[in-house]
Amino acid sequence: MPELPEVETTRAGLAPHCEGRGIRSVTLRRPDLRWPIPKEIKKHLPSQTILSVRRRAKYLLIDTAPGSALLHLGMSGCLRVLPATTRIEKHDHVDIALDNDTVIRFTDPRRFGCLLWQPVGETHSLLQHLGPEPLSDDFDGNFLYELSRGKRSPVKHFLMDQSIVVGVGNIYAAESLFQSGIAPQREAGSISRARYAALATSVKSILSYAIARGGTTLRDFLNADGAPGYFEQELFVYGREGEACKVCGKPIQNLRMGNRASAWCKKCQK
């Protein structure tokens, strides 16, 4: 599933082409994706101006005066800005036509993504209980340390809890824990303030670098311009189980945590 850097890459790709543009029409080629597409999308978006394209966690918001189109890419979705005459393919489910003869096209083969509506002045229920953004000043080692006291769950699960901090999915949690030298199965409440400071710094640096490099290339992920991301080749542990650690040379371990693999280095992470 696209993680925060992939979604931010999509936002950054869309915004220059969409912000300030008028919406001529909305075409829905099916009534639902993961959930039914609310009637407000076709009722309120046409004739509006796109004020901004924002990201909250792994959601994108296309803001207009009456409210925002709220989108999630799911496992296979992508958003692109294309000439209005571009041929429609099988999985092109939504077109938002702009006033310069282009369209914002939402393509989603598996239909795990969503297109919902958030009225102005309200917060959609999907966004109401999210933690802070990991690149904001609200997220740091002290924040993690205080929230982790008394928690016996593995630190990786703690870090991936969206009510704690948003957007740190499996790839970037694994990489951040490796960079900060923390074993993913350690109890969250057993980790010191100093080590949480190192972890928060790693999360910020890795996410920032991944955004700058265009995200992580996943099988189904494309940037807004149709190009893949460029971060995968630089991963240290994720997806490298059995390969030599780039730091110590020992084999990367495959630890099963819940229903997910968690790659880590037994020597470098304690």
Q: What positions carry a catalytic annotation?
A: 2-3, 58, 260
- Angle at the Cα of 172 (from 59 to 196), degrees rounded to 5? 110
Distance of alpha carbon 185 from alpha carbon 108, whole angstroms: 34
CA distance 270 to 256: 17
Strand partners, 183: none
d(CA 243, CA 200): 26
Residues with Cβ within 8 Å of residue 175, at least 6 apart in sequence: 202, 206, 235, 236, 237, 238
Residue 22 to residue 47: CA distance in whole angstroms: 6
Q: With CA atoms as reference, report the closest residue to 109 among 75, 82, 84, 85.
A: 75
Q: How far is CA 140 from CA 122, 146, 169, 193, 222, in A?
A: 28, 10, 17, 10, 30
Amino acid making up residue 56: R
Strand ranges for 120-184 from DSSP E: none
Quote the CA–CA distance of 61 and 54 in Å, as a whole number. Answer: 5
